[in-house]
Amino acid sequence: MRAVIGLGNPGKKYEFTRHNVGFYIIDKIAEKYNLSIKSSAFYYQYAEGQLEDSSKFMIVKPTTFMNMSGLAVKDLLNTHNLKPEDILVIFDDLNIEAGRIKIRKCGGDGGHNGIRSIISSLNTDQFPRVRFGIGNRFEKGRMIDYVLSEFSDKELLLIAPQVSKTIDVAEKFISSGIQPMLDYYSRISNPDNNPLI
């Protein structure tokens, strides 16, 4: 069993904000597989599904606010006997332009409070993640306003292909694990097989 975790803030007011793109993608996976996300006795909501190749998976949304995401992830690992390498975390990234994604096998938090919380709670940074670009077109001092504002209709169209690509990457992770996912991402991101810089 592997789990795909989308980061975000709970509540309707945050539903379609840039900071909640992780939740948005989890909802799209649920829609694709006709899954109903349900509450748990812990710090997360989840649904269980199965790919066409019979690989079982979970999709997860923390019920904590972003900066406490680690509580949910630690709960998940403990209650389902998972290891850090069994989870794929999807989150927004200001340092990547909107409409692009980057995949990492492990690493630091990059200034993201949700990832910082997970690293602290698990006492490791050895878990794969999808950095989903939301861009950084905001005036100085307006970062919070920007990340907590909703995507425009134009932006939703812009990110749609990368939402689909993220779901494809997540499915590869579920079925095959980290390295096949990274290899797959490399192929779809660089179809001409040019050296990646």
In the chain, domain spans? 2-189
From the candidates 2, 18, 19, 129, which is the catalytic residue? 19
- Summarised one tens digit per residue, pLDDT across range 45-55 is 999 999 999 99
Q: What's the pLDDT score for residue 91?
A: 98
Tokens of 170: 């997540």
Q: What's the pLDDT score for residue 144?
A: 86
Q: What's the pLDDT score for residue 99?
A: 81
112 among known catalytic residues:
no
Residues of the chain with pLDDT under 50: 193-197
The CATH-assigned architecture of domain 2-189 is 3-Layer(aba) Sandwich (3.40)
CA distances in angstroms from 156 to 32, 86, 151, 171, listed in the order given: 18, 29, 6, 22
pTM of the model: 0.93
Q: What's the pLDDT score for residue 56?
A: 96
Q: What's the pLDDT score for residue 152?
A: 87
The amino acid that residue 186 corresponds to is S
> What percent of the chain clears pLDDT 90, i.e. is strictly above it?
80
Q: Is the dihedral of CA 53, 31, 131, 192 positive or negative?
A: positive
Q: CA–CA separation, 48 vs 38, rounded Å?
A: 10
